[in-house]
Amino acid sequence: MTVAFTHCALQVADLDKSIAFYARYCGMEIVKEHGEGRARVVWLASPGAGDRFVLVLLGGGALREQTPDDMTHYGFGVPTRDDVDRIAAMAKVDGCLHWEPREYAPPTGYLCGVKDPTGYVVEFSYGQPLGPHADQT
């Protein structure tokens, strides 16, 4: 039996703000969408990855609070440390930086954390042995 991780589904407080956030910060785009109003569901994917892994956003969620010492998150890899710094600077201006950029021991690498409009923490990392940029570190 082969099992594959295909999606992560999040109930969000504001679907349109969340779509805009994931487009701006993660470069994700809508690959599927169905339903209307509170029943609207959107599948987002990184370019070219829509047949492998999607982030499913469902409306009707509540805002979330997460303390800075709570490491609950999901992550995106970036090709350079400068990308982590750029994302952190953008998030600071936007008022959603959760973790300042910081270096951790391998395999964790250099990362920052950004809160999406609902309060979920999204990690942006460089130097982890995962994803398309793993061989560049």
Distance of CA 26 to CAs 4, 114, 119, Å?
Answer: 22, 11, 16
Distance separating alpha carbons of residues 40 and 54, to the nearest angstrom: 16
Same domain for 81 and 125: yes
Same domain for 80 and 52: no
Report CA 28 to chain centroid distance, whole Å: 9
Same domain for 44 and 91: no
In DSSP terms, 112 is beta-bridged to: 124
Q: Residue 1 falls within a domain, yes or no?
A: no
Q: Total domain count for the chain?
A: 2
Same domain for 47 and 78: no
Same domain for 45 and 85: no
The 121-126 sheet, strands edge to edge: 74-77, 121-126, 109-115, 97-104
> Contact, 127 vs 106, CB < 8 A?
yes
Question: Each residue of 40-63: pLDDT tens digit?
Answer: 999 999 999 989 999 999 999 999
> Contact, 133 vs 46, CB < 8 A?
no
Question: Each residue of 11-47: pLDDT tens digit?
Answer: 999 999 999 999 999 999 999 999 998 899 999 999 9
Q: Residue 103 falls within a domain, yes or no?
A: yes
Q: Which domain holds residue 80?
A: 74-136
Q: Residue 66 falls within a domain, yes or no?
A: no
Q: Residue 67 falls within a domain, yes or no?
A: no
Question: Each residue of 80-137: pLDDT tens digit?
Answer: 999 999 999 999 999 999 999 999 999 999 999 999 999 999 999 999 988 777 766 5
Q: Residue 64 falls within a domain, yes or no?
A: no
Domain CATH for 90: 3.10.180.10
